[in-house]
């Protein structure tokens, strides 16, 4: 199977760079481009479908769009409808902070294959795109016609029975508590400060904070002006 060619559509520079790097890290995927607006996305899609010089994906076009819903010149749903209206054989995964049920339902009706809510970890990104790749493999491996069981198997791969698990030793309840604290703070905090507030050990708090930092959910930076060993501080990314 050829690599799945991916177009990242995201206006936030930090998120766009992170999503592009995530794609590069995945086996079986290739970055076809990054668009910071709906207009840029449509230009890249048109060039790719025509095999134009502006399309890194080449004549075969773009297989998958990672689509943010909040773009500077268009809503993601409007862009999705334009893609569908052009008849482009491109799948779409929504990657967005938008949680409104009506938007989610509209995105599903318009034919997205996955919906990933920001912020998320690389592990969640890996699992979603891995499930999508399995879905494509199941469909490509079939003949011109198919059976009910083969269709069921393909769609089942998009919706794993169990959610992605946290690394060993981390709990969902503690992770939610730390995320809740970080979201309420204006200033960055250290592991020691988080530990004191939530009655955790400093080592435990740092494990969770490093896990969130690795997944781009929090921003990690060095704290200067403290005595002893260098210390990191953490701020919620959004």
* DSSP per-residue letters across 79-121: HHHHHHHTT---EEEEEES---HHHHHHHHHTT-SEEEESS--
Phi, psi of 107 (to 5 degrees): -65, -40
User: What confidence score (pLDDT) does residue 237 get?
Assistant: 79
User: What confidence score (pLDDT) does residue 162 get?
Assistant: 47
Rg of the chain on CA atoms, in Å? 20
Q: What is the DSSP letter of 70?
A: B
What is each CA distance from 163 to 43, 98, 132, 223, in whole angstroms? 36, 20, 15, 35
pLDDT by residue for the chain (238 residues), tens only, comes to: 789 999 999 999 999 999 999 999 998 999 999 999 999 999 999 887 776 444 343 335 899 999 999 999 999 999 999 998 888 889 999 999 888 889 999 998 888 999 998 888 888 898 889 889 888 887 765 555 666 666 666 666 666 544 556 788 888 889 989 988 998 888 999 999 999 999 999 999 999 999 998 877 888 998 876 665 668 999 987 6
Give the separation between CA 119 and CA 217, rounded to whole angstroms: 5
Give the separation between CA 108 and CA 126, rounded to whole angstroms: 21
Predicted structure pTM score: 0.63
User: What confidence score (pLDDT) does residue 3 get?
Assistant: 92
Kindly tell me the sign of the dihedral angle through the C-alpha atoms of 100, 101, 103, 108: positive
Give the separation between CA 120 and CA 192, rounded to whole angstroms: 24
């Amino acid at each position: 199977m050829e690599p799945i060619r991916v177009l990242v559509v995201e206006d936030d520079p930090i998120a766009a760079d992170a999503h592009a790097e995530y794609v590069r890290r995945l086996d079986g995927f290739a970055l076809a481009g990054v668009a910071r607006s709906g207009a840029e996305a449509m230009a890249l899609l048109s060039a790719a479908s025509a095999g134009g010089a502006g399309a890194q994906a080449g004549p075969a076009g773009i297989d998958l769009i990672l689509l943010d819903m909040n773009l500077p010149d268009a809503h993601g749903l409007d862009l999705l409808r334009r893609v569908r209206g052009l008849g482009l054989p491109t799948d779409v995964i929504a990657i967005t902070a938008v949680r409104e049920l009506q938007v989610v339902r509209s995105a599903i009706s318009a034919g997205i294959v996955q919906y990933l809510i920001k912020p998320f970890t690389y592990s969640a990104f890996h699992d979603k795109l891995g499930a999508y790749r399995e879905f494509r493999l199941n469909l490509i491996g079939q003949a011109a016609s198919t059976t009910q069981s083969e269709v069921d198997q393909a769609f089942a791969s998009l919706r794993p029975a169990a959610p992605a698990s946290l690394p060993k030793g981390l709990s969902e309840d503690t992770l939610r508590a730390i995320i809740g604290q970080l979201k309420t703070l204006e200033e960055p905090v250290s592991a020691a400060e988080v530990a004191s507030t939530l009655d955790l050990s400093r080592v435990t708090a740092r494990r969770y904070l490093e896990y969130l930092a690795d997944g781009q959910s929090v921003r990690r930076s060095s704290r200067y002006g403290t005595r002893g060993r260098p210390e990191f501080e953490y701020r919620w990314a959004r």
